[in-house]
Amino acid sequence: MFDLGTTIAGVRLDPCIMNASGPLCTTFAELTDLARSAAGAVVTKSMTLAPRQGNPEPRYADLPQGSINAMGLPNLGVDAYCEFSELLRALGKPVIASVAAVEPGELVPAIARAASAAFDLIEANLSCPNLPGHPIIAYDVDALARLLREARAVCHRPLGVKLPPYFDRVHQERVAALLRETGIDFITVINSVPNALVIDLEHERPLIHPKGGFGGLGGAFVKPIALANVRAFYELLDGAIPIIGVGGVYTGRDIAEFLLAGASAVQVGTAYRQEGPAIFARLAQELASVLAEKRCAAAADLVGRLQPLPAAAETLPA
């Protein structure tokens, strides 16, 4: 009855709701569960050239307003995911490869390898905050430019970029110009808000072990930051590059806010980890209810529709 789908770089995602790379998408069993859920696509854990164990535990904690993690890219390595790709696609929905690197020089070979497999879209993760001693690549616009050019040259599949939150319009302007110039097909915003610290007052310790407790924040904490980045890139890109919004989606109403801000689709991280694959059917149903309330036939009708708030009328005494 309602069209909950979208098309990104020629790939139909229906509904426009999928998991975020990170939780519960590392093993073949987890990816199969996603493929059998009501999600519109399956997104893999960020894969690196070689398999990784990741950082020491405890490296994830649930919080009342979200989550904190410093996982350190635990994954099975790009070759394993390439082997899974045909089998996962055979389950009937698009499969998105998230590709990351520890050393910047490892990113382009990993993307080239992933592009040789059956993935529908490639999402280059240039914003992992949890590798001790390694900066977030996407905070260095020159390094980002080099990597995007090299990645674009080896990737014949649709290529997107997962960006970190930016807190300054000038940074967003520079990155938006670069995305246009390098022919990037979609962006995913935002990755976790990096290097947050949550303290356990009773024990006088951080909640997670790696990096002295510093980790990426997700969930309800980050939704306003995510919405702001979606909106800024929507304005700066004039809708020319589709945006996948991520950060604090728990309900259909949250999804509608991301669509209004300018996202064409959303990903779900913390809430998916907390609720499991059944969350996608609930979210699709809730999004349909919002569309019914707003008398819209399609999720696409909401994309970018945020209105300016009129200035309050002046109320000077007569």
Q: Which residues bind ligand DHB (CB under 6 A)?
A: 46, 70-73, 100, 125, 127-130, 191-192, 216
Tokens encoding 244: 């996948």
Return all residues near 204 (Cβ < 8 A) that are at least 6 apart.
none
CB of 265 to ligand DHB, least distance (A): 18
Shorter beta-carbon distance to ligand DHB: residue 70 or 196: 70
Candidates 25, 82, 128, 155; catalytic one = 128
**Distance (Å, rounded) from C-alpha 24 to C-alpha 40?**
16
Give whichever of 162 and 231 is closer to ligand DHB, judged by the CB atom. 162
Q: Which is nearer to ligand DHB, 218 or 304 (CB)?
A: 218
Distances (CA, A) of 83 to 18, 78, 244: 21, 9, 26
C-alpha–C-alpha distance, residues 17 and 8, integer Å: 12
Q: Name the nearest CA neighbour of 200 among 27, 61, 56.
A: 61
80 or 281: CB nearest ligand DHB: 80
Unique residue bearing structure tokens 């009129």: 310
CB closer to ligand DHB, 102 vs 177: 102
Give the span between the Cα atoms of 179 and 225, in whole angstroms: 20
In 106-234, beta strands by DSSP E: 121-125, 159-163, 186-189, 193-197, 199-200, 205-206, 214-218
Beta bridge partners of 188: 162, 244
Q: Note whether 19 and 39 are within 8 A (CB).
A: yes
CB of 7 to ligand DHB, least distance (A): 25
Is 16 a known active-site residue? no
DSSP line for 129-152? --STT---GGGSHHHHHHHHHHHH
Whether 264 contacts 6, CB under 8 Å: yes
Nearer to ligand DHB, 100 or 122 (CB): 100
CB count in 10 Å sphere of residue 267: 27
Catalytic residues: 128
